[in-house]
Structure 1
Amino acid sequence: MTRPIWAPWRLEYIGEAGTQDGCVFCLEASGELDDAESLVVHRGTHAFVLLNKFPYSSGHLMVAPSRHVGELGDLDPDEAAEIHALTTRGIDGLRSVYAPDAFNVGWNLGQVAGGSIASHLHEHVVPRWSGDTNFMPVLADIKVVPEHLLATRDRLRDAWPDS
């Protein structure tokens, strides 16, 4: 019997994609999700850190304002400062847990720029390793993530820098 390489029914978080009403960032910011379901790694005063449901690589974080805001210029100074601080702390946490060689950090502002949820700003923090681009995404349109998102979330929560 041949077993499939990728079994989508085994990855609950992918199976639920697109079934959620409203803004996923606002839902996570509200704290209404059961802690076992939430992908939030850390909550600040004005912003929070969560894992990307469809990561480019293991540990792919996003930092978003708690307030629903779609334009970078509409962030107030406290929100902007906290997003920057949480991004820096997220990089520190990722370094301690996964020891990546580098990071991609950035914003996709608007749908055309690749922002799949353009109405709620969020900054991406993507850990990178030397040689992490291989034949799988190029030939088979498959991304390989070796750890379940909830395990990643727990590891990063445990290692979250205090300062």
Structure 2
Amino acid sequence: MTNDDHLQRLWAPYRMAYVRGAGDAPTEPDACPFCLMVAGERQTELIIARGWTCFVVLNLFPYNPGHLMVLPMRHVADYTELDAAETAELAAMTQRAIVTVRDVSAPDGFNVGINLGGVAGGSISQHLHQHVVPRWAGDANFMTVLGGTKTMPQLLEDTCGLLREAWDESDDAGGT
């Protein structure tokens, strides 16, 4: 077989199971990991804050320290399915998440986004979640690129504690 386009290929055949949808979260709310968090049945220690219709949680598999997700409490897959109160609170909590992470760890920037549907990269596409990922100059290095390994300089528990404390302090100061 010839390589006429002169592109190098990185073969990762184990990814085919993900591409085909194997391991994607169940569609039923009673099996959804986010709904189980809301119900207090799973990984509640990762929850940073709860609102009336939405909550903020530390990502269990973060891209960077402080990687948060803002989610509606209701099991809904698409942004267009949110009601007005959920939409407003999702936006307000996203803003507050950015402010809180800035206060705690002073990142150089952020990636903020929603992956709608499995083909868009949503690993748990049945429950809408917006990512708030802090970024620093040089946070992707040879370990990630060549070694397929992400170096995390802080434990999840430590990150969660710092963010929760900063969020609570913002509450005391009259924050959103």
TM-score above 0.5, yes or no: yes
- Count of residue pairs brought into register by the alignment: 144
Which of 86, 91, 105 does residue 98 from structure 1 map onto? 105
What's the secondary structure of 1:27's corresponding residue? helix
Q: Does residue 23 of structure 1 match 2:32?
A: yes
Q: Following the alignment from structure 2 to structure 1, what is the Cα–Cα distance between the partners of residues 79 and 96?
A: 20
What's the secondary structure of 1:83's corresponding residue? helix
1:132 positional shift? 1.1
Which of 131, 141, 144 does residue 148 from structure 2 map onto? 141
What's the secondary structure of 2:64's corresponding residue? coil
Q: Please report the TM-score for the alignment, with normalisation by the length of structure 1.
A: 0.83
The answer for the alignment partner of 1:67 in structure 2 is 74
Q: Does residue 88 of structure 1 match 2:95?
A: yes
Q: Does residue 124 of structure 1 match 2:165?
A: no
Q: Following the alignment from structure 1 to structure 2, what is the Cα–Cα distance between the partners of residues 44 and 145?
A: 29
Q: CA RMSD in A?
A: 1.9
1:104 positional shift? 0.4
What's the secondary structure of 1:136's corresponding residue? helix
What's the secondary structure of 1:31's corresponding residue? coil
CA contact (8 A) 2:37 2:43 kept: no
Q: Following the alignment from structure 1 to structure 2, what is the Cα–Cα distance between the partners of residues 74 and 60?
A: 25
Q: Does residue 151 of structure 1 match 2:158?
A: yes
Identity of aligned residues (%): 55
Instruction: Flag the structure with larger Rg.
Output: 2
What's the secondary structure of 1:70's corresponding residue? coil
* Cα deviation 1:10-38 (Å, max 9, x = unaligned): xxxxxxxx9xx811110111223475xx2
1:97 positional shift? 0.5
* Cα deviation 1:102-139 (Å, max 9, x = unaligned): 00000010101110000000000000011111111100
Q: Following the alignment from structure 1 to structure 2, what is the Cα–Cα distance between the partners of residues 112 and 147?
A: 31
> Where do 1:5-84 residues align within 5 Å?
22-33=31-42, 38-84=45-91
Gaps of 5+ in 2: 1-23, 25-29
Q: Following the alignment from structure 1 to structure 2, what is the Cα–Cα distance between the partners of residues 94 and 64?
A: 17
Change (3 A) 1:70 1:129: same
